[in-house]
Structure 1
Amino acid sequence: MLTDVAVVVAEPVPAFELGIVSEIFGLPRADPSLPRYAYAVCAERRGALRTSTGFAVIPTDGLDRLATADLIVVTGAAPPVPPPTPALATALRAAADRGAVVAAVCTGAFVVGAAGLLDGRAATTHWAYADDLARRHPSATVDPDRIYVVDGPIATSAGASAAIDLCLHLIRHEHGADVANRVARELVVPPHRSGGQAQFSRVPIAFPGSGDLAGLLDWAADHLGENLTVGALAQRATMSTRTFIRRFTEATGATPAAWVREQRVRRAEQLLEKESATIAAVARHCGFGSPDTLRRQFRKVRGVTPEAYRAAFRQSP
């Protein structure tokens, strides 16, 4: 269970990324039932450190704090990112070896990679720097189109705001969908973007003369138990199937089928956490039809069965 969080910084400290991590893990939530974390900002040098926007931050702890953290978040400056010092690289490897999660936000992936923790793993970073990361670490599989990637105990995220998505994913994995959704609501951000979502969209959401795709997405999310085949969605969007698939994928970074499956799994998570409905009833409500289909799709997306998920995250009445 992630209860002890440490973020590692070095000059120039990326102010936005540090703010995101501190807001999510370092600030007590207004809802006292939400998880609270032991939180520390760590650096090898304990004095005031210059940020990317000019002001200074003062770390609360040194690198020795990494020896006890369950989650270590690594930040990075704009490239060229200075390599980690031997002390930091050693601390990060030791943390991963003992089972801590090491998560890099944006160009923090360069620091994690230089410590040897991306070798043989999948990773991402800001799309503008992904090619450089891949050149530096040829044994890693760098995907510039993902907003975050989790490969074992190592997690990486794309630029800036993708750190929010990665942090919420980690909370979801540890505490369940309802807790992550409530944290997101306090932050006033979308509760979940799949790691496979593209880093940016190439076309606007609304297509002149072709209907409003954003409205279609809202409608589909409210009617998951209905027929949401590609053909049915294309007809509702008043597009040909071929045009609909192309524009949907360009706008959302996911195919219509993958998006619908993700929404159905998310709804199933909520029902499994809060409701006493049978697996068959959950399957029908979410549009999977049969328990076997629900189990197959749920395992594919979440890596566990619906029954195992319910046992782990079921809320007490």
Structure 2
Amino acid sequence: MQKIGFLVSPGFQVMSLSALSVFEFTNIAAGEPLYAMQALSEEGGLVRSSIGTAMETQAFGSAALEDTTFDTLIVSGGPVITPSTPAVIDYVRRARQVTRRMASICTGAFMLGDAGLLDGKRATTHWANTRALQAKFPKAKVDEDRIFITDGQIWTSAGMSAGVDLALGLVEEDHGAEMARMVARYLVVYHRRGGGQSQHSNLLDLDAKSDRIQTALTYAKRNLHTELSVEQLAEVAHLSPRQFSRAFRAETGQSPAKAVENLRVEAARLMMEQSRHPIDIVARETGFADRERMRQAFLRAFGQPPQAIRRGMR
């Protein structure tokens, strides 16, 4: 049975605890206790979260844990970046010597950085804090747009919900992809997002104020495999092409053509993550005329071709 230590500090974010449910339901799916979990803190006892609720913890320096070695130590973060205490830094440094994997959720990456664990490592955190993480730890290689990143012993994840993806990745490494999929189904998670997936979504970023433009956007999202010309979208919105283009840019900040390309790129990336379809089929199903047009669109969006994005996902 593998022991999971979950380190929290005052002001931790409650949603990070959802990562523990992944290990709980792995035990349920397996029909046996594959994981044992222990909440840890510097002083032990009740630790208050950022919303005021508290959880019971064991002090990591207590006699009760003196002989306990964790297979994996997960450091939780909170909505506000707070300096790590000397005791936490010392504990994390010492834990690295005897722990197989060290992981962080959201701003927990700053604790790993304070302990020197991110030097020379690829890492990520919540998108709003990636630049601060890079500035504070210049020896780290911070990726601003990944759900989670694995670099040897060190695992880091983006915002709080990404902790579930990271935990599912840990389970997959331990017990295989089928077990991870089964646990995702138990948790009613539609699909485990791979570490290479973006933190951002063009489907969420695109918004419109008027019903006409929103109707056109909805139509575009449902018909990405078709040509989707400006004339076609304008007809759906019951506007002339000129009126539609002007209104669309005013409401979304993008031209219709650019918005459609962004939607196609995101759909293609999601399809590559969720299937093993060849690039040619992905290009055709998401409305790109051929793989070269899709390649050029990926280079504009990510600075990388589809093949490199797929390798990163794997």
The TM-score normalised by the length of structure 1 is 0.69
Residue 62 of structure 1: how far off its partner (Å)? 1.3
Q: Which residue of the other structure, out of 37, 43, 46, is the alignment partner of 2:44?
A: 46
Cα distance per residue 1:150-203 (max 9 Å; x no partner):
112111100111111111111111111111111111111144322121111224
Once superposed, what is the RMSD of the aligned Cα atoms? 3.4
Q: Which residue of the other structure, out of 59, 62, 72, is the alignment partner of 2:59?
A: 62
Residue 77 of structure 1: how far off its partner (Å)? 2.0
Q: Which residue of the other structure, out of 205, 211, 221, is the alignment partner of 2:225?
A: 211
SS at match of 1:199: coil
Equivalenced residues, count: 257
Q: Structure 1 residues 219, 119: closer, same or farther in 2, change over 3 A?
A: closer
Cα distance in structure 2, aligned partners of 1:222 and 1:74: 29
What is aligned with 1:295? none
Residue 72 of structure 1: how far off its partner (Å)? 0.6
What is aligned with 2:16? 17
Q: Which amino acid in the other structure matches residue 79 of structure 2?
A: A
Residue 218 of structure 1: how far off its partner (Å)? 9.2
What is aligned with 1:150? 150
Q: 2:93 aligned with 1:93, yes or no?
A: yes
What is aligned with 1:103? 103
What is aligned with 2:259? none
What is aligned with 1:78? 79
Residue 215 of structure 1: how far off its partner (Å)? 8.7
Structure with the greater alpha carbon radius of gyration: 2
1:17 and 1:160 in contact (8 A); partners too: yes
Cα distance in structure 1, aligned partners of 2:32 and 2:301: 33
What is aligned with 2:194? 194
Residue 136 of structure 1: how far off its partner (Å)? 0.7
Q: Which residues of structure 2 form unaligned runs of 5+?
A: 205-217, 227-263
Cα distance per residue 1:41-63 (max 9 Å; x no partner):
1111223222112222221x111
What is aligned with 1:121? 121
Cα distance in structure 2, aligned partners of 1:166 and 1:150: 9
What is aligned with 2:3? 4
Cα distance in structure 2, aligned partners of 1:87 and 1:222: 42
SS at match of 2:42: coil
SS at match of 2:133: helix
What is aligned with 2:159? 159
What is aligned with 1:309? none
Q: Structure 1 residues 208, 132: closer, same or farther in 2, change over 3 A?
A: same
Cα distance in structure 1, aligned partners of 2:302 and 2:22: 25
Q: Which amino acid in the other structure matches residue 283 of structure 2?
A: A
What is aligned with 1:239? 288
Cα distance per residue 1:79-122 (max 9 Å; x no partner):
33221x22222221112112431100000001111111111211
Cα distance per residue 1:127-158 (max 9 Å; x no partner):
10011111111111111111111112111100
What is aligned with 2:29? 31
Cα distance per residue 1:204-224 (max 9 Å; x no partner):
695365338699889889985
2:103 and 2:154 in contact (8 A); partners too: yes
2:44 and 2:60 in contact (8 A); partners too: no
SS at match of 1:72: strand
Q: Percent of counterpart pairs with the same letter? A: 33
SS at match of 1:48: strand
The TM-score normalised by the length of structure 2 is 0.70
